Structure 1
């Protein structure tokens, strides 16, 4: 309970700081901060936390669970689209269907999932969150997510642009570097500096979320939004979380996986929607409401698991 209260304090304060800054500062500041975190902050934090994380053979199950979560999400989306009882727009536009699928399967397991995991579980099991995000959710977003964007878009995309976006991602490179050199001895001063830099990056990621939320102001198609969040933040973690013992996952590791599955939709869904001319308004509404809903669902998942 103490960890949860501390987490809520950090989440609310840092996101509010970002929200205030986002309202007052030019939009380009948000973009610059995102670039700094993307190229420097997140890679440093990955290397730092990998040095303290406990790695075992079981940790490689994390990305498998991530892919199962995506697969389950697609099944639930197809069921929802088939019933159409939750939608007010009939028939749904092709672009809206694409955004609906994206927000139902791609979670914010990095910028939001990492600080939540660190606060509630600690860094010993942080590798489970890293493996889930970088080897699972990342490819779901920029692999399958991009394919979905292209499938439901009227724009023609070059295949090399998709491959390039995946290959140049610094988080993947830092993940490989961190694994290769995690046992390398470094002076205590540099180790402490690395840890401080990582915590600053995690805090700035929450500020960035607030800045981005301050620039979102759309609440279109609320029934579709609530359906997407029900699939992404309730049904997927509940169903797969209950099945984790089948894979031999329990205790703190199971808690990390459930928390990652329960994250709200990622900002990557909005990026993909804008890139492929889908329905960015639906993504905006889902991102906003999902970020608020997380404050309600976190205690529930901690109690259940």
Structure 2
């Protein structure tokens, strides 16, 4: 409960700081840079290095890939029926197909399951969500805009991302003992993700209005917050008989809000900016309300 209160407080402070100009406009850039270059690599290394790997951990890794694939085909179909242009189609695929499994997901995992289960979140986020964004996500953005990206460009984006580098290093050093003081330092540094990420998210939220936006949000957020996690419950629990806390965390991550970076990529590639912003602006606060519902529903898994 303490972690959840901290999460909400930091989120509201971020919104207030922007409105009252308590912090400079560069605040999100600085906070995000700190998180990506220090906090996330630290927590990634800490949990991946000590995690005991088994076949059950394939569930969190594959979830974001299946999630994005479903979104791609579903929204291509909806776009044809609704006569959406390419920019709208690309934006909704990216923002509905990729979840905020780190900046929002990690704090919520800490709040509802405990920090000891962040390792599952890291598996969802690094070889899952981040790799999807860096490969299929960037390719989708390029297809639905006038831009393009080379195979070497994709590889560079993947292998120069600090948390991904930390994950590879943790795997390579699994047979080596890490001093306790170093482990404690990494864990402490990693725990800064919760307050910093939620201040950053709150600060960046914007709300805009345009014709037809409500229906687009209904489709996008309906899939992201409700349909997708329900699908994975059916696939992973009912059909594949998965169970346990790791499975609960995996399904919980499937119900996260749209990924901030996916929205940023949408904007950078000239896709539907208003839709991308609103998917984040409505989806993130709404996910704070739907998350406890999913936590309750998944408690028996």
Question: Is the pair's TM-score, using the shorter chain for normalization, greater than 0.5?
Answer: yes
- Map residues 71-82 of structure 1 onto 2, 5 A cutoff: 71-82=69-80
Cα offset for 1:54? Answer: 4.2
3-state SS of paired residue (2:96):
helix
3-state SS of paired residue (2:192):
helix
Distance 1:241 1:257 in 2: 10
Of 205, 217, 235, the residue aligned with 2:207 is: 217
Out of 17-26 and 106-115, give the one that drifted further. 17-26
Change (3 A) 1:208 1:95: same
Q: Over residues 111-134 of structure 1, what are the superposed CA-to-partner deviations in whole Å (9 max), with x where a residue is unaligned?
A: 111121122222443332211111
Q: Counterpart in 1 of 2:123?
A: 131
Q: Counterpart in 1 of 2:232?
A: 240
Q: Counterpart in 2 of 1:298?
A: 291
Q: Counterpart in 2 of 1:87?
A: none
Of 176, 191, 206, the residue aligned with 2:183 is: 191
Change (3 A) 1:189 1:164: closer
Q: Counterpart in 1 of 2:137?
A: 145
Query: Normalising by the residue count of structure 2, what TM-score does the alignment of the two structures yield?
Result: 0.89
Distance 2:49 2:149 in 1: 39
Q: Over residues 174-197 of structure 1, what are the superposed CA-to-partner deviations in whole Å (9 max), with x where a residue is unaligned?
A: 011223335643444333322211
Cα offset for 1:261? Answer: 0.6
Cα offset for 1:156? Answer: 4.3
Q: Counterpart in 2 of 1:34?
A: 32
Change (3 A) 1:154 1:190: closer
Distance 2:51 2:109 in 1: 12
Of 191, 195, 198, the residue aligned with 1:203 is: 195
Unpaired segments ≥5 residues, structure 1: 85-90
Unpaired segments ≥5 residues, structure 2: none
3-state SS of paired residue (2:48):
helix
Distance 1:156 1:180 in 2: 33
Distance 1:260 1:229 in 2: 15
Query: Normalising by the residue count of structure 1, what TM-score does the alignment of the two structures yield?
Result: 0.88
The alignment's C-alpha RMSD in Å is 2.1
Does the Cα contact within 8 Å between 1:76 and 1:231 map onto a contact in 2? no
